[in-house]
Each structure stands twice: as C-alpha cells, then as structure tokens.
C-alpha cells in the first residue's frame, strides 16, 4: 500500500493527529493503523480520563486548556457525547503539604486558573466521611500522616469517557475520508535513502536517511511521512532507527469500588452541579479518587512513583497488593468508609513518562514525526497535540489550537525545546 501519511497507533494521540492531518490536507491519503481491534484500546482505555488546567508551565497549560475548550464544544455543540463531567479536582492537603504547594497555587491563581479553597470545617461539612483530625490515633501518627487542613478545588477540571472520546475522534477522521486499519501491527519502520540508488544496504552513512513507511502485519505500507503515535510502545519502532522517544513507561494501577458504604462519599454534594465527589487527590495517602456516577462506582488510582519500576509491558496487570497491602493502610485513616471494602474491578496501564520536564514531545526526523511523552496527561492535551503534529507536517512555525491561541511547534520538540518544566 502507498499513502501520503501513515499514522501508527489509534490511541488519542494517533486519532487526533490523523484527524487534523486529514482536516488540513483533504487531498492526501492518510492511513491510520492499530494493532488492536478498535480505537483507544491501549493506555487510553486504561486512563482515568481526567482533565485539569492546574498546570504551571505556560505551554503545558495552553495545550490542556485548548483541549478542554474543544471537549466542551464537542460535548455541548455537536452530536458526539464524550461524557464530559466538569466535576472539578479537589486537593486535600495537610499543613506542611499546603505550605509547600501554596506558592504554586498562588501562581496558578495569578495565571487566571479558577480555584476555590475550603477550610477543615467546610470540608468536614461537605464530606462527612472524611477524617480531618486523627484525634490521638497513634498509628496515623506513626505512619506520618498529616491531618487534612485545607482543600483546594480546581474548577475547570473533571473527566471524560476515553472510549467515547476515541470513537468521536475516529468518527471525525473517517467522516473526512480517512482510512483506519485495525488488527494491523507495524513491525518495523522502513528506513531508506533520500536519493535511492537501488543498491543493497541502503541507506549508507553518506546518504540522507529517511523513514519511508513501515513493514506491517499486512505487508509494506509506504508513506511520505510516518507518524509514530504508538504510546509507550513507540520505543520499539523508534529505537531501531536511532530515534530517542525521550520517555519511559511506568505502570499505574486502578481499582474500582462499588459498595453501599461508599455511596455517601460518591454522591458528595456541594462541590459541583452533578452532586458527586470531585476527582480527589490525597497525596499523603498516595491515591486519587474519581466518581463514576454512570455506574455508581468510585475509581481509585495509586500514585506511587519511587518504588514503581520503569519497564515496557504488553499487557500490564494491576497487583492487588498495591491496594490491599499498601495504599489501603493510609486510605482508611482518612476515609474509614473504605474499611473492609474490596475492589470489584482493577486494571493497570502504562504512562509514558518524560522524566525531563513532564511535557509532551512532538519531534521529527526526515519522513517521521513522533508524538508522545504526555506523562499521564495525554487525554487532556490530545486535541492540541494533534494540531501540533499537523502543523509540524506542514512545516509551520506555529500551530493554531482550538479557540485560536497559538503554540510554537518547536517549543515542544526535542532539538529546540523551549518549555518551562511542569512544577505542579
Ligand atoms: C492508569 C492511568 C491513568 C491515567 N489517567 C489519565 C488522566 O486522568 N488524564 C489524562 O490526561 N491522562 C491519563 N493517563 C495517560 C493517558 O492514558 C495517556 O497519556 C494517553 O492515553 C496516551 O495516548 P497515546 O495515544 O499516546 O497512547 P495509547 O493510547 O497507548 O495509544 C497507542 C496505540 O498504539 C498502538 N500500537 C502500539 N504499537 C503499535 C504497533 N507497532 N503497530 C500498531 N499499533 C501499535 C497501541 O495498541 C495503542 O492503541 C493515564 C494513564 C494511565 C495508565
């Protein structure tokens, strides 16, 4: 097969890239391949689907805010239902944690990010299940847990359903005449010479090397440009051609709880119009919670970092001990309603960690564009990143994001990177 652009990977990044490439180049043949049988079945499906504009790096926040604006447009002004719920984010913090983060929250406030704070009394009134004072609990003291002193709520935050989002992006792409081939795996990138001499062994070191497509499980697909959007698996395609994806995979486990004893917490009133618990970050307990009202459940993500090794897996699984023998001990101190409640479901996915600045990467070499490294934030930036990929393809200096704001393409490249580290 021959096409103009081959996109490898139908996660949110590949889908969004394919859509914008086709939108801006309607005459080009844009082919998207995916080794699995449907869109968004890789890390995208494992995600919590959270979005937030609580990001301190200007570029990072811009990528997220434009995507959030686009999600809101899709949800309210089109026939697509991405199940966007603006339930907000809530950070529950002890005195010293807040002390450390206070300057960051102040910076966010100055940047116009909508925030609201709650003192202990207000939190206790809104979340009766929350223990804010350990009242001489020696175990909690021994564990070094801090009583909750303050809650900081991010208002332009919430979650979407990642399956619906993937299907929406797929429909937009197909609607423009894009082609998708599922159950089609790219085995390796085809590296050729810029000016081919048809000699065995090309490209030689004295020739310009160009990516010319990929060998796939359905045969060779030749393309003028190949976009690698294969998530954490991108390194398998990029390492052999000497291109560094600058990211490493790290597993994160999610657990689902559905129990009558958790209903009051799930349907916490007073933080949002939906009358559910915001996406709640409890950094001292090493977990966050998300209300999934459609199924009456609470999702719990375990946020361990050190101690959780890097490493690529094809089918990562959640280990029950990550919850039961680990996060549980602190969680029940803050939220005793979890006592004795077992998860009804669990899964794990891998996040593509950019260890340097935690901000996504869009970088190219002749014939190739790579997009990835969203460091656990890819859902909330996917629409903007698709636009950056399309601008990179067109050789433009800037990409116009949804809503009209612009970002310099080279700012999130590797070679000419110019972003502030993400400190939040
Ligand atoms: C537990 C967890 C929670 C998360 N929570 C959030 C959150 O709340 N908010 C947020 O914004 N982000 C979150 N993330 C991160 C988010 O899921 C990712 O940033 C995002 O899904 C990355 O999208 P992607 O398209 O790059 O990767 P993927 O979705 O993994 O897509 C890559 C695709 O490429 C395919 N592929 C791989 N190799 C090949 C090949 N050789 N040939 C063909 N196809 C191939 C894969 O099958 C896959 O479908 C979370 C991640 C995890 C693991």
Q: Quick one: residue 382, left, alpha or beta (phi over 0 = left, psi -120 to 50 = alpha)?
A: alpha
CB 329 within 8 A of CB 286: no
pLDDT, mean of residues 161-172: 98
Query: Ligand 1: which atom is nearest the Cα of residue 251?
Result: 53
Tens of pLDDT, residue by residue over 363-407, are 999 999 999 999 999 999 999 999 999 999 999 999 999 999 999
Tens of pLDDT, residue by residue over 71-111, are 999 999 999 999 999 999 999 999 999 999 999 999 999 99
The protein residue whose alpha carbon is closest to atom 4 in ligand 1 is 47
Would the CB of 374 count as within 6 Å of ligand 1?
yes
Query: Ligand 1: which atom is nearest the Cα of residue 237?
Result: 41
Tens of pLDDT, residue by residue over 299-333, are 999 987 778 889 999 999 999 999 999 999 999 99
Query: Domains of the chain by range and CATH?
Result: 2-79+162-247+356-412 (3.50.50.60), 89-154+249-351 (3.30.9.10)
Whether the predicted pLDDT of 240 surpasses 90: yes
Place of tokens 């005195």: 95
Integer Rg of the chain from CA: 23
Please give the distance, rounded to the nearest whole angstrom, from the Cα atom of residue 206 to the centre of ligand 1.
37
Which residues, listed in sequence order, are joined to residue 301 by a DSSP beta bridge? 254, 288
Please give the distance, rounded to the nearest whole angstrom, from the Cα atom of residue 167 to the centre of ligand 1.
14
Please give the distance, rounded to the nearest whole angstrom, from the Cα atom of residue 363 to the centre of ligand 1.
18
Place of tokens 């206070």: 102
> Which pLDDT does position 307 carry in this prediction?
81
**Measured torsion, CA atoms of residues 325, 327, 333, 338, in degrees rounded to the nearest 10:** -80
pLDDT mean across residues, the chain: 96
Residue 32's pLDDT band (cuts 50, 70, 90): very high
Query: Ligand 1: which atom is nearest the Cα of residue 279?
Result: 8
pTM above 0.95, yes or no: yes
Pocket test for ligand 1, best of 47, 167, 412 (most atoms within 8 A of CB): 47
The alpha-helical segments, DSSP class H, found in 394-423 are none
Question: Helices 162-175 and 12-24, interaxial angle, to 10°?
Answer: 20
Report whether the peptide linkage leading into residue 185 is cis, meaning its omega lies within 30 degrees of zero. Answer: no
Query: Ligand 1: which atom is nearest the Cα of residue 15?
Result: 25
Mapping DSSP to helix (H, G, I), strand (E, B) and coil, where does residue 358 land?
coil
Would the CB of 13 count as within 6 Å of ligand 1?
yes
Residue 376: closest CA among 282, 260, 270, 288: 288
């Amino acid at each position: 097969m021959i096409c103009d652009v081959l996109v490898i990977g139908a996660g949110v990044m590949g889908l969004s890239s394919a859509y914008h490439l086709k939108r801006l180049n309607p005459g080009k043949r844009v082919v998207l391949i995916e080794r699995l049988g449907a869109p968004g079945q890789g890390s995208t499906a494992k995600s919590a689907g959270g979005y937030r504009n609580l990001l301190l790096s200007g570029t990072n926040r811009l990528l997220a805010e434009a995507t959030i604006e686009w999600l809101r447009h899709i949800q309210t002004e089109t026939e697509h239902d991405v199940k966007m719920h603006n339930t907000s984010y809530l950070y529950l913090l002890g005195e010293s944690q807040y002390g450390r983060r206070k300057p960051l929250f102040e910076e966010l406030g100055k940047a116009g990010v909508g925030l609201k704070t709650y003192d202990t009394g207000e939190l206790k009134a809104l979340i009766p299940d929350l223990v804010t004072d350990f009242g001489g609990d020696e175990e909690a003291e021994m564990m070094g847990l801090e009583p909750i002193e303050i809650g900081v709520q991010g208002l332009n935050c919430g979650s979407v359903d990642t399956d619906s989002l993937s299907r929406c992006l797929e429909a937009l792409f197909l609607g423009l005449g894009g082609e998708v081939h599922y159950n089609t795996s790219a085995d390796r990138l085809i590296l050729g010479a810029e000016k081919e001499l048809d000699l065995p062994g090309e490209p030689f070191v004295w020739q310009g090397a160009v990516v010319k497509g990929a060998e796939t499980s359905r045969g060779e697909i030749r393309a003028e440009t190949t976009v690698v959007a294969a998530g954490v698996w991108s390194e398998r395609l990029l390492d052999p051609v000497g291109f560094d994806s600058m990211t490493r995979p790290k597993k994160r486990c999610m657990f689902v709880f559905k129990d009558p004893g958790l209903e009051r917490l799930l349907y916490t009133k007073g933080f949002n119009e939906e009358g559910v618990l915001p996406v709640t970050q409890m950094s001292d307990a090493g977990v966050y919670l998300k209300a999934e009202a459609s199924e009456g459940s609470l999702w719990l993500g375990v946020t361990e970092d050190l101690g959780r090794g890097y490493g690529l897996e094809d089918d990562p699984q959640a280990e029950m001990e990550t919850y039961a023998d680990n996060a549980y001990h602190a969680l029940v101190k803050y939220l005793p309603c979890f006592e004795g409640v077992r998860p009804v479901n669990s899964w794990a996915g891998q996040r593509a960690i950019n260890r340097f600045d935690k901000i996504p990467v869009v970088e190219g070499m002749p014939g190739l564009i790579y997009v990835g490294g969203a460091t656990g934030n890819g859902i909330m930036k996917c629409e903007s990143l698709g636009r950056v990929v399309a601008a990179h393809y067109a050789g433009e200096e800037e990409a116009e994001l949804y809503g009209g704001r612009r970002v310099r393409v080279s700012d999130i490249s590797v070679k000419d990177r110019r972003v502030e580290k993400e400190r939040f």
